Amino acid sequence: MNTSRVLRTTNVVLLLMGYQRHWFEKKSHRFRLSLPSVVYIFVLGVVYAACFSQHFDKSSSTLKVLKDISPFLFGLIRVQLALGAKAFAYAIYSSVKSVGAINSLLKALPSRNSQFTQDEALAYLLLTSTFGILFCFAAYIAYEMKFELPPLPDAMLGMALLLPHFILAGSVRLYTVLSWLSRGQLKELKKNAGEELRANLTKDPGNIASALFTVSTESLENLKTKLEILEANFCIFAQSLKHSMLFLFAMHANCLLGGFYTLTYYWNTWYVLFEDRKRRIFYAANASIYASIASDYICLMVVLFMMENERRNFIEAIDLLLAQRKLFSKKLRPIAKDLRGVLKKKCFMFGGPFQPNIIYVSLMVCLQIIVITLIVTVHYLEDEILLLKEEFSSTDDN
């Protein structure tokens, strides 16, 4: 896997998203501040400010209709708008603040000019999967709209909600790709350590003193140092992005609540307001919310699972060698135990404060679904009760 090529591709994608302010230099293998990206985010900021102000235009017919039909949904949009404004500012701050931690992690990820491999293809898939899903839904919606642009005020209303969410989503893309590259480095260290440790197994257990050691202790110490640097820098990198990802998960939850709420009311009431073509557009737009958010979570969970699996395999390989007491050199046993100790530290085990693991992400998603279901169910039942009361009142009057 060509690490530099993956990093450059990721950098270009994140620059276009508006998340990063820095350009990746292949020669120095680090990120440096880029003036064009600063100008680009300034332009995005101006566009976002114009779209944001559209939500406070009292003459907007779309907002008036929305508020009349569903004050609750109108409130959710206001919440998303407030979260978006904070997310836009925090994404800029976070991307600048985290670049030091990212450059530190890159020191533990040496540049390799290898051929295109399956791991590299998976890195690109993890990077672009959500964009691919959104593009497919956007193409279908454009087809149903006969490739006609929506009214500019309505487009600006949607852009104000989408743009900050889209920019902040760069944090999970960055975390996913760099975690995948860290997994590749961990796999390489496991391979090298395994080869060197196995090379020091004696073929004659009764004559250990005459064994010829093919690898020196210094070589294993060097591997242990690389592993310690990878663990420490990955921990710093994860901590630098934790607030951005928590912010993103909060926006995901609000979007899921809005999507589930509109779908529930559409099935029961609002469908009469739409013709067939607009119904298909609504279903596609609603499904795109679930699909894109699910893609983010799935990519994150796949990377976490693969990295945890690599860590466990590394520990099992060391334990297997340590179990062969008569065949394994006593001089190397302390180093092997140190390697195992590094692998059991909190950052590699994803056990620190907001070190996401599969259980954490799964519980968070389940909690979001349960809370959203309860909110929508309670709100829908309240509306049904009010409707029944109105019907009974009108019957009594008659």
Least confident span in 64-73, 183-192, 256-265, 322-331: 322-331
Mean pLDDT (the chain, rounded):
87
How is the chain split into domains, by residue range?
3-198+212-358
- Kindly report the backbone phi and psi dihedral angles of residue 357, in degrees, each rounded to the nearest multiple of 5, phi listed first: -130, 180
Q: What is the mean pLDDT of residues 195-215?
A: 55
Which pLDDT band, with edges at 50, 70 and 90, does 200 fall under? low
Q: What is the mean pLDDT of residues 207-236?
A: 74
Q: What is the mean pLDDT of residues 121-131?
A: 95
pLDDT of residue 330: 74
Q: Which of 14-28, 204-218, 264-278, 351-365 has the highest mean pLDDT?
A: 14-28
pLDDT over 80 (residue 233): yes
Q: Tokens in use for 185?
A: 């480095």
pLDDT of residue 318: 85
pLDDT of residue 353: 45
Q: What is the mean pLDDT of residues 249-267?
A: 93
pLDDT over 90 (residue 159): yes
Q: Where are the alpha helices (DSSP H) in 70-203?
A: 71-97, 99-107, 118-144, 152-168, 170-198
pLDDT digits (tens, 9 = 90+) for 13-60: 999 999 999 999 988 889 999 999 999 999 999 999 999 999 998 888
pLDDT over 60 (residue 3): yes
pLDDT of residue 174: 95
pLDDT over 90 (residue 85): yes
- Yes or no: say if 99 and 31 are a contact pair by the CB < 8 Å rule: yes
Beta bridge partners of 22: 33
- Consecutive H or E run containing 16: helix 3-17
From the list 97, 91, 78, the residue with the least C-alpha distance to 31 is: 97
Which pLDDT band, with edges at 50, 70 and 90, does 397 fall under? low
Beta bridge partners of 23: 32
pLDDT of residue 113: 66
The burial class, CB within 10 Å (0-12 / 13-18 / 19+), for 102 is buried
* Block residue for tokens 């920019």: 167
- Yes or no: say if 235 and 114 are a contact pair by the CB < 8 Å rule: no
Question: Between these two residues, 153 and 389, which has the higher pLDDT value?
Answer: 153
Question: Between these two residues, 348 and 45, which has the higher pLDDT value?
Answer: 45
Which pLDDT band, with edges at 50, 70 and 90, does 209 fall under? very low
Least confident span in 23-37, 50-64, 199-213, 288-302: 199-213
Share of the chain above pLDDT 90, in %: 54
pLDDT digits (tens, 9 = 90+) for 266-284: 888 887 777 888 899 999 9
What is the reported pTM? 0.90
pLDDT of residue 373: 92
Q: What is the mean pLDDT of residues 50-76?
A: 91
Q: What is the mean pLDDT of residues 373-397?
A: 82
pLDDT of residue 208: 44
- Yes or no: say if 87 and 168 are a contact pair by the CB < 8 Å rule: yes
